[in-house]
């Protein structure tokens, strides 16, 4: 797909529902008794994979477009799938569902696409095995496909070496079934949607600094969930509005949970003209309209506790840094190497090809802003966040930018190009 520079972006958009919350709403709805209704569910390929997996596990799920009805069967209502569970491209589905399957009275086999089969699963196999789980990799490696033989589990305290919501959530979901208390301590706080949703479904959660604990659950209660707009999808339009000349964009109803809103802090530190209006909170998840206007930006440092709060926004923040005065340093971001693609390598390779002054480091990159970008051919590596980041970069690059496998945006934002076209003023 080809892109060119534009003279302005103007208008108001509603971005789709939050991917992390949509996955969890299906999972918790399946484990609750009764019908959970989900509004503004993300109809992206990853969340549809979660629906298909739970349908295979015997849960009736009606996808009515604007409304999803999950007819939950309770904590002990899942049944064995007659075929392999396919999580597609979704790391969240793979890791969270494994925590649930580890405690079921049946065996399951789980796999996903070529990218999933390269993403490390030992980060959940290790703690789940400490709880008594039986999980083996078919390739005798740390990757999918996995065979999971359900066992009775015992609660543990796990000191996670990584700040990862997927690791934390997988352990907590297993902990719903485990004897005693299950707790996880992370080096920094990762997104807390699982904790908030557990409480919404009636499971007490204790959070103290970076430790989260739960005890064996007896019942989850069906809920009505209104999914906020995804800040990770809004991020592309936030950055576009800041770097394309003469722009002003209002993005409605975006989730601004503090465990996800690191991008707002970075934009403000870089001097962005960004304001929040219509702030609301629904069941612990705050939302706001985000208004961005073209800004003069300056470099910053992105590191430490901030990294898990903006982990999926680093590709588009790297693009933004090319348009800031001075140096932007991104460090402590090694986790980006094990996402849908090796995002550190791909960002540096693609931005260098466009003419940016960028240097790879062991755990991040250094970007010296101010060099003009030029259109070229960009390999998205079938990574949705890479494709969207470079579509935005192309709006401020000379000439034509051709993005290969651009359609992979369907993973998290099927209407991305349509929404972008709606804002363009030439
Ligand atoms: O689901 P998947 O494929 O892992 O998706 C990504 C993404 O960019 O959409 C990461 F590649 O988001 C993760 C995120 O990076 C979603 C997620 C969650 O919903 O719990 C947590 C983060 O991953 P992690 O490993 O840091 O916990």
> Ligand 1 mean position to 311 CA, how many Å?
8
Find out whether 425 is annotated in a ligand binding site: no
Please state the pTM of the whole predicted model.
Answer: 0.98
Compute CA distances 397 → 105, 207, 272, 354, 403, whole Å.
Answer: 56, 46, 20, 8, 13
DSSP classification of residue 179: B
- Testing ligand 1's pocket by substitution, the residue of 15, 92, 169, 188 carrying the most ligand atoms inside 8 A of its CB is 92
State the pLDDT at residue 423.
Answer: 98
Q: Tell me the two tokens of residue 33.
A: 């008794």
223 Cβ closer than 6 Å to some ligand 1 atom = no
> How far apart are the CA of 95 and the centre of ligand 1, in A?
10
Beta carbons within 10 angstroms of residue 42's beta carbon: 27
| 167 CA closest ligand 1 atom index | 27
**CA–CA distance, 126 with 47 (Å, rounded to integer):** 26
pLDDT at 140: 82
Distance 246 CA to ligand 1 centre (A): 33
Per-residue pLDDT of the chain (426 residues; tens, 9 = 90+): 999 999 999 999 999 999 999 999 999 999 999 999 999 999 999 999 999 999 999 999 999 998 999 999 999 999 999 999 999 999 999 999 999 999 999 999 999 999 999 999 999 999 999 999 999 998 888 999 999 999 999 999 999 999 999 999 999 999 999 999 999 999 999 999 999 999 999 999 999 999 999 999 999 999 999 999 999 999 999 999 999 999 999 999 999 999 999 999 999 999 999 999 999 998 889 999 999 999 999 999 999 999 999 999 999 999 999 999 999 999 999 999 999 999 999 999 999 999 999 999 999 999 999 999 999 999 999 999 999 999 999 999 999 999 999 999 999 999 999 999 999 997
Tokens coding 391: 């579509």
pLDDT of residue 241: 98
Which residue's C-alpha comes closest to atom 26 of ligand 1? Answer: 164
Q: How far apart are CA 28 and CA 23, in angstroms?
A: 9
The verdict on the CB of residue 150 being under 6 Å from ligand 1 is no
Identify the H or E element spanning 137: strand 134-137
- Supply the pLDDT for residue 282: 85
Q: Which residues are catalytic?
A: 312
């Amino acid at each position: 797909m080809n892109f060119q520079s534009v003279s302005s972006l103007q208008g108001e958009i509603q971005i789709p529902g939050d991917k992390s919350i949509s996955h969890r709403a299906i999972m918790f709805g399946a484990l609750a008794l009764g019908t959970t209704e989900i509004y503004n569910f993300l109809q992206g390929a990853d969340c549809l994979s979660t629906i298909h997996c739970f349908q295979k596990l015997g849960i009736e799920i009606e996808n009515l477009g604007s409304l999803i009805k999950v007819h939950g069967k309770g904590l002990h209502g899942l049944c064995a799938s007659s075929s392999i569970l396919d999580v597609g491209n979704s790391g969240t589905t793979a890791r969270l569902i494994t925590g649930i399957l580890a405690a079921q009275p049946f065996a399951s086999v789980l796999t996903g696409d070529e990218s999933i089969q390269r993403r490390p699963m030992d980060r959940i196999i290790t703690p789940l095995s400490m709880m008594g789980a039986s999980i083996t990799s078919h390739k005798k490696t740390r990757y999918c496909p996995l065979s999971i033989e359900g066992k009775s589990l015992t609660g543990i305290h796990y000191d996670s070496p990584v700040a990862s919501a997927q690791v934390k959530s997988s352990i907590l979901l297993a902990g719903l079934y485990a004897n005693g208390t299950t707790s996880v301590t992370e080096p920094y706080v990762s997104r807390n949607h699982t904790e908030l949703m557990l409480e919404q479904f009636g499971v007490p959660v204790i959070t103290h600094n970076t430790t989260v604990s739960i005890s064996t659950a007896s019942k989850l209660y069906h809920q009505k969930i209104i999914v906020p707009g995804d800040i990770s999808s809004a991020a592309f339009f936030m950055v576009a509005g800041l770097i394309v000349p003469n722009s002003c964009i209002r993005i409605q109803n975006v989730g601004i949970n503090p465990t996800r809103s690191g991008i707002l802090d970075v934009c403000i530190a870089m001097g962005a003209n960004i304001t929040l209006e219509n702030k609301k909170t629904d069941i612990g998840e705050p939302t706001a309209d985000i208004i961005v206007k073209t800004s003069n930006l300056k470099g910053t440092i992105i590191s430490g506790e901030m990294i898990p709060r903006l982990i999926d926004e680093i590709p588009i923040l790297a693009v933004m840094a090319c348009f800031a005065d001075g140096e932007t340093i991104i460090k402590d971001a090694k986790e980006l190497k094990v996402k849908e693609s090796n995002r550190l390598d791909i960002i540096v390779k693609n931005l260098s090809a466009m003419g940016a002054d960028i240097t790879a480091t062991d755990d991040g990159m250094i970007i010296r802003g101010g060099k003009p970008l030029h259109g070229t051919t960009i390999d998205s590596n079938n990574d949705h966040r890479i494709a969207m980041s470079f579509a935005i970069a192309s709006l401020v690059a000379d000439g034509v930018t051709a993005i290969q496998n651009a359609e992979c945006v369907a993973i998290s934002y099927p209407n991305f190009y349509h929404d972008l076209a709606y804002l363009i003023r030439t």
